[in-house]
Amino acid sequence: MADLCSVPPEILVPAANETLELVLGSQVELNCTVRWAGTEHCQPIPTWSKDGQWLGRGSSQDTVWSGQNSSEQLLASVLQLNLTQDADFGVFACWISNATATFTLRRAEAVGHVPAVLAALLVLLLLVLLAVLYVQCRLNALLWYRDRYGELEINDGKLYDAYVSHANAPDDRKFIHFIVKPQLENRHGYKLFLDEQNILPNSEPSADLIMNVSRCRRLIVVLSVAYLEQEWCNSSFREGLWRLLELSRKPIFIVFESQYREITHPAITLLKQHRSAVTLLVWRAGSMTPSSDFWKELCLALPRKVSFPAGRSVGDPQTQLQEDKDPMLILHSSYLDSAGDLDPDGDLGTGLRGRIFGSPPPPRLGGPGIPRAPASSGMEEAQLRDGQRSEIDVSDLGSRNYGARTDFYCLVTEDDI
């Protein structure tokens, strides 16, 4: 029995010296559990100390029980502490025979509200910054995405990018000819069809309107005070709007800021109610700047432009991609050059008709013994001999309607002069 009592106890809890960081005002229980081999007669007596000072015997609660093996005994000593002041922190030690377990209690600074407030302010500042970037760069980002990944409207048989309808008033004409047209055609490369006539006489689209709008990819209406004085705008604008929606894909309506606020016309109210079906743009005081939001929104509503890299053929990409062989649409008509004509100062038809239109050479006079005239058109005879034909088919020149393509003939109108 004496030999068993001489065996030192084994500390089970804690497995190693512990260091605890606790805030002021907290409660903690320090548990020291040991196991020894022997009987209750060999039970050790636990004692506690703080910073090298012994605490009283009643400072801890001790519990003894037997293990699975009757020769093993376990003892748990629990020390309860209320950390109400700085003096309650320190190094606590549990002494059981010659075994010791140490607990180091340190005061932890209470987490204040300052970090949380700073984090909330930082998040709010970040959200405000993102909102400002969204407002400032939204249109630029949309334009970049449209120009890079947007749908290409080609091979659709359209001759113009937009049909522009405006009133026959001095202010409207100046706005279209000196602001809208130079900006869209010269800066952005769009092709416009301008019309100052009443597009809906008797509230029904005319045949010319249907034909011209069908040749344009978008419809732009400058909804000024003079425009709203038209009969269809006053009597049946709702029905006219449905007609325009049938003719064009999401029509574009331009209103002026001063008139937009003052006019109580029902057409303005109707357009506000149907913003999802139409594009309503407001011309403001700062819209004159080429980088204003007005032009960005207008370009977003217009089709994506196709541009060829440097060195490739120029002209309207839609016309080039459709392989239109119309001589009136080809900008660089090298085959119309008279360099190969034997008599450029004379009848051009003599030198060009055979090469372009494939007419036979003039007949030879005399019999077979008469020497042949100089072969001025050897290539023509070779083509006739080989059964070749000209690349250009002009058999339908008489049926082509060149009157619809006024942009190739009238570059400057009398009003512009």
Contacts of 384 (CB under 8 A, 6+ apart): 360, 361
d(CA 219, CA 161): 9
d(CA 392, CA 271): 49
Tokens of 19: 């260091």
Cis geometry, peptide bond prior to residue 374 (ω within 30 degrees of 0):
no
Q: Are strands 46-50 and 252-256 parallel, antiparallel or unpaired?
A: unpaired
Q: Is the pTM of this model over 0.85?
A: no
Per-residue pLDDT, 4? 58
Q: Which amino acid is at 312?
A: R
- Three-state DSSP at 281 gives strand
In 3D space, the residue among 58, 302, 33 whose CA is nearest the CA of residue 183 turns out to be 302
Hey, which bits of 71-215 come out as E strands?
72-82, 90-96, 99-107, 162-165, 192-195
Per-residue pLDDT, 335? 36
- Three-state DSSP at 342 gives coil
Total Cβ atoms within 10 A of residue 76 = 17
Q: Give the pLDDT confidence of 42-74 residue by residue, as tens digits.
A: 778 888 999 988 888 778 888 888 877 777 888
- The low-confidence residues of the chain, meaning pLDDT below 50, are 1, 313-316, 318-371, 373-411
Total Cβ atoms within 10 A of residue 371 = 7
